[in-house]
Every structure is written in structure tokens, then in C-alpha cells.
Amino acid sequence: MIAFGGDYYPEQWPRDTWLEDVRLMAEAGVTMVTVGVFSWGLLEPAPDTFEFGWLDEVLDLLAQHEIAVDLATGTASPPAWLTYQHPEILPVDRDGRRLWAGSRQAWCPSSPVYRERAALLVRQLATRYAGHPALAMWHAGNEYGCHNAHCYCDTSAADFRRWLRATYDSIDAVNEAWSTRFWSQHLTDFEQALPPRLTPTFNNPSQVLDFKRFSSDALLSCFIAERDLLHALAPGVPVTTNFLVMLGFDKLDYWKWAREVDIVSNDHYIDAADPDAHIELAKSADLTRGLAGNKPWILMEHSTGAVNWQPRNRAKRPGEMLRNSVQHVARGADGVLFFQWRASRGGAEKFHSAMLPHGGTNSRIWRSTIELGRHVARLASVAGSTPRSQVAIMFDFESSWLLANEALPSTDVKHSRIVQDVYAGLWHGGVTVDFVPPGADLTGYALAILPCQHALSPAEVAPLQEYVESGGVALVTYFSGIVDRSDQVVLGGYPALLRSLLGLVVEEFDPLLEGAGVELDDGSTADTWSERILTEGADVVRRFSSGPLAGEPAITRNRVGSGEAWYVGTHLAGEGWRHLAAAMCTASGLHWAPVEGVERVTRYQGRDAFTFVINHHDSPRPIGAAGHDLLTGAAVDMDDVIAAGAVAVVHSAFARAQGDD
């Protein structure tokens, strides 16, 4: 079944509220809650003094009501006594400013004291609750790195040096990797290596890259330490931690993290100001499924309504929460959970919406919660399946990090933006996407896209080359394949490693000024980027028709083996990516089925197909699927329409999956 529920903080409420909570959870169809995320301070009120009584009581109550518990280890925020006794735990930012207690995550990921105290708590929890009937899953930490991903303190510096020693054979290998012959940065001993702290001008970009790798690994080792304890002390209980796969968060290399969790879970919040937030949601859900290796995953947190941390937190529109939730399920989520069950009275998130709002049960949000609970229950049969796709987007956290560096050709080239724009182009054609890591085997895909895949190693290029030669169609965008995995330019003409595959060389980058645009010869426009392309075998698909590069190639196609390698040397504007996506799909023999504003995703389960249809449009649209709707039980015909803003999950038992073998 699909889990339904949310974060539950009974410690914020008196005992008699707990009884009301479980009663209302039953009413709403809640099947799982996450407990204990921020309970360290109450579970261990003084060093080595533990108070588990209240948690025993809560877990027993939940077990009695058959509500499964995702039990948090509580290590996300250390208690006040710990940072009071050990201020050296507190993280330090790039400017050298200490970050104090009084919010959350005020701990340095490399702190031995933090790690030791966290392990002690986890050990206690695991021992105590290993066999508890409510326990369904462990929730290690919480949103690792949300606020403390990069610590520049002396402890972190020492740990970074340990990481460098483990990563590089010698200090000369670091010198090579960091290009320290530039700007007199030569190191003669590991002890001289530093985090990229505030400097007079641009930091060494390779040092920044390694520091981001180290930082992701430092937090990952915190997770692994907890996971290993949990596995040892409570065997058989899966361990997860909630990722933050959404626009604007790219601090951790989740490809590495995904290998370490027993089940992938994700927190997702929409940007209230983004009219296309549902497309960003779809992309994040697909990326999360990619991290999960195309297996189901859990939506650990989203919101019933407004959040509290954006500048202006609008309410969700009627039906929006349902659409959001169903979108996640369509793309592989086997759990729909929220932050949080009951809105807090005080603290920094008191104006964050919840399943049960401040106003109580006589409210629109509560009614929506109940309605959603019913819908989720009706989707039990889809559990365990995922959609399949013939389109892969290569997604690289390191390229995202690199494009956030200073001193690049243009500050407007943002990895998240190009990925989102390319993805949205496909979304409008009804194309579901698999996200794959750099260097992934692309066998079986009909179309593979590398959006601003800035760094590449030869080993990562090989499967791509092989894929195209074997008949695959690839699309590479500008500023891809420029540097190696040390952030050093691969010489031999940009993009050197892809030059023969693409049949071209880029002679010179020519970023566009702020607000400037350029035209292509089909009348479309582009912005942000242009470049001087010399073809070396590729056909020219589109040329620039204005600006200093008028007449020069903008989009090219190179036939290689039985496949094609396309290239885009600019950032398409307007519907440019959509049109290019349509052309690519045609070239790849893929179905291009645009229905304006309607999302249609199919999860496959043996011979069963479950087509999720979500109408984001403000008028009725063709439903485009036949069978019966799991949510209403009604028969559905291809010719039927789906109401504005509505959702349907059409089961067609006879369907043969696209790409099925």
C-alpha cells in the first residue's frame, strides 16, 4: 500500500491531545508517522540521562492504533546542554562566523564530539525500540546538510585534510588536481591545505570542488555511522533519511548517498511564486526515482498548504494538494507524507501548514487531508511499481557545483535552470524522464540528454559514444564536457572529449549580456549564451540569425554509427526547448503527445498499467486513457474528459507497457 501520514511531534502537546491525535489519524486514514526528529533535547535532558517514558507511551499508542512509525534518531539538532558544554561543535561559515544554537542543525559535520554523542543516542534508541511493534523504519538524522552542509572551522579543516590524504596519493597529486602552479598556490605539505575560506578574491575552483565533495562525504559518514549502528542493533528494519531533491538545493551528491540508504525518501516543497511549480515537482520526483534506481521511494515531507520560509507563502488552491500528491505517486512514490501532522503553536515554523491546522477540524485543509487519505488508500494496488521511460537525462551534482563557482563565462548559466528548462520541454510533450548519473549505461534508451554536463571524464564519455553508435539519439547542450573531474579544461578544442561524437569544435564562448537575446533562423529566440561553433562533420539544424554570430551554427546534428548526436550552443527561450524536444522525440521514434497542461504518467505492474492523469489546466481536457478510475471506481473511455484541476488513476489490466519485452 501507499503510506500516508506525516511528521508527528507529540512532545509539543499535552498527553490528552495524543488521544485526539490517534483518533483523528484514524479518521484521516493515516498509516505512518515520523516521530522523534527533534527530540534529542527531551530524550536526553542531561548528558547520559535518558527519558524514554513519553516516547514509549507514544509508540505504544500508535502501535495500538496500527499506525506504523518511521522512528527518527533525533540527531538533527543537538540539545542546548551539548553546545553549551562544547561550543566547538558549532559550525563556522566561510566568513569565519560561528553559527550558534537557537535554530537547528547547529553542528559541525566533522565534530568528533557531536558524532560520539549522536552515536550514544542512536545506540540507546536502537536497543530500546528494535522490536517495537510500531517500528517500521528508521529515519537517521533529518534533511542532512540543509543548513550545515559546509563548515569551515578548524575541526572541519583537519577533517578535510584527512579526506585529501585518503583521496590523493601525495601532496603533489593535490597540486596537480588543484592547478596550484597558478597564483603561487603550491602546497608542500597536506598540513597547508585549507577549506576554501574567505579569500581576497576568487577561491581556487578545484579546491572548492574537493571541499564540496568532502562536505557531502563528511555528512554521509555521519549517516553511515548511524545506519550501521541501527543495522547492527535492529536488524531487518530499513534505514532511510530524507533527501532534499528540489530546485535550489544541490549541496549533497545524492548519487553517492542513494547507494547507502535502504530506501530513498525525499522532502519536496513547491515554490509558491513559480507558476510552473508542478513541472519542477515532476522533475524532482523523476530525479528522486532515478536516485532510487527506478524503484519506489517515499515522499517523506510535503505541505498541505502554505509553507513559512518563502518570502510570500500563498495557500494552495483547491485541488492543488491532491494534484501534488498524485504527481509524486505517479512518478514512483509509495508514500505520501507531510510536514507535519498538527500545526505547532510556537517556534520558527508555527505558520507552516499541517494536516491538522491551528483552527482544527472544521477547516478546508482538514477536509482536504481526509479526502487525500481516502484517495491514497484507493491506490494500494499501484504500490511497488514505477513508470518506465525511454528518455534519460544525465544529472550531475558536481557539474551543478562547478557552475555555481565564481569567475565563469556567465553567472546566468545555472545548472538547475538548464535542467529544469530541458525537462519542461519534454514534460509538455507528455514524456516521462529517467534521471541517470554521469557515465551511466544508456542501453535501452531512445533519447539521452546531457544538459550543461560541464565536467566529464573519458570513462563517462565511453558509454555515451557506444550508445549513439548503437543507434541512440543524444542531445548535448552548451558548456558540457569542458572540464575534467579536477575542473581543468580538457585541451584540444571545446568540448574535447565530445568533439568527435558531436562533429564540431567550439572556438569561443560568447555569453549574452544581461537581458539580451539572439534570434535563430526559424524565428525563435535564445538568451544567456552563444558560442562560435565550427562544424566538423555535423549538419547544421539551426543558425543564429542576429548578433555577432549571425549565420553561424546554433543547433547541429551529427550522424554517428546508427545514431545521432545533437548539440545546442545557446539557451533556447520561449517554447524553444519544447520544439527541440519534439524534434528529438521524432528523431528517436518516441511518442510526442502534448496535451496542454495535462500530465499523464503510467506505472506498470506486470500486465497492469496505472495511468495517472493530472489536469493542471483550467478547463476540461481529454483524459487519454481507458479502463477504470481507481479513485472513483468509474469506467473511463479514451474519449472522456477530465475536469479542470482534477486527477484520475486509470487502471487498464490489458495494457501492454511501452518498451515492454
Cβ-based burial of 621 (10 A; exposed 0-12, middle 13-18, buried ≥19): buried
Nearest distance in Å: CB 647, a second copy: 18
Q: Are 299 and 444 in contact (CB under 8 A)?
A: no
- Reading phi first (left if > 0) and then psi (alpha if -120 to 50, else beta), residue 584 is in alpha
CB of 296 to a second copy, least distance (A): 30
Q: Where are the beta strands (DSSP E) in 9-103?
A: 32-35, 68-72
143 catalytic? Reply is yes
Query: From CA 359, how far away is CA 365, in angstroms rounded?
Result: 10
CB nearer to a second copy: give 412 or 466.
412
CA dist 599 and 429 (Å) reads 9
C-alpha to C-alpha distance for 613 and 617, rounded to whole angstroms: 12
| Dist CA 137 CA 361 (whole Å) | 29
At closest approach, how far in Å is the CB of 147 from a second copy? 3
By C-beta, is 82 or 541 nearer to a second copy?
A: 82
Task: Looking at 498-643, list the stretches that DSSP marks H as alpha helix, in order from N- to C-terminal side.
Answer: 499-502, 576-588
List residues bridging with 568 in a β-sheet. 477, 555
Residue 301 annotated as catalytic:
yes
Nearer to a second copy, 11 or 260 (CB): 11
Minimum distance of a second copy from residue 545's CB (angstroms): 17
107/423 with CB nearer a second copy: 107
The gap from C-alpha 186 to its chain's centroid, in whole angstroms, comes to 37
Q: From the candidates 143, 320, 564, 599, give the one annotated as an active-site residue.
A: 143
Instruction: Report helix, strand or coil for 94.
Output: coil
- The separation between CA 429 and the C-alpha centre of its own chain, rounded to angstroms, equals 22
Q: How far is the CB of 517 from a second copy (least distance, A)?
A: 13
> Nearest 5°: CA angle at 571, between 559 and 481?
55
In the complex with a second copy, the residue whose CB is nearer, 39 or 416, is 39
240, burial (CB in 10 Å: exposed 0-12, middle 13-18, buried 19+): buried
Whose Cβ is closer to a second copy: residue 188's or residue 236's?
188
Give the nearer residue to a second copy in terms of CB position, either 295 or 364.
364
User: Could you say which DSSP state residue 107 is in?
Assistant: S
CB 359 within 8 Å of CB 39 = no
Give the Cα separation of 116 and 10 in Å (integer). 27
Q: Which is nearer to a second copy, 38 or 478 (CB)?
A: 38
Find the shortest distance in angstroms from Cβ 656 to a second copy.
41
Cis peptide before 495 (omega within 30 of 0): yes
Q: Supply the minimum distance, in Å, between the C-beta of residue 386 and a second copy.
A: 34
| 630 Cβ contact partners less than 8 Å away, ≥ 6 residues apart | 378, 379, 381, 382, 610, 649, 650, 651
Closest CA to 195 of 145, 251, 165, 151: 151
Give the shortest CB-119-to-a second copy separation in angstroms: 17
The single-letter DSSP state of residue 232 is H
Roughly what angle, to the nearest 10 degrees, separates helices 415-427 and 576-588?
A: 60
Question: In angstroms, rounded to a whole number, what is the distance separating the alpha carbons of residues 608 and 620?
Answer: 26
Output 138 or 509, the one with its CB closest to a second copy.
Answer: 509
User: At 50, phi and psi to the nearest 5?
Assistant: -110, 140
- CB-wise, 315 or 593, nearer to a second copy? 315
- Grid coordinates in use for 604? 506498470
* Whole-number Å distance between alpha carbons of 422 and 32: 36
The answer to whether 282 touches 331, Cβ cutoff 8 Å, is yes
Work out the burial of residue 380: count CB atoms within 10 Å of its CB; fewer than 13 is exposed, 13-18 middle, 19 or more buried.
exposed
Q: Which is nearer to a second copy, 189 or 661 (CB)?
A: 189
- Scan for cell 508514500, then name that residue: 335
- Please give the Cα distance from 74 to 345 (Å, whole number): 21
Give 500 or 658: the residue with its C-beta nearer to a second copy.
Answer: 500
End-to-end CA distance of the chain: 26
From 44, 301, 320, 564, the catalytic residue:
301
Q: Return the biggest CA–CA distance within the chain.
A: 75
325 contacts: CB under 8 Å, gap ≥ 6: 299, 302, 336, 372, 375, 376
Known catalytic residues are 143, 301
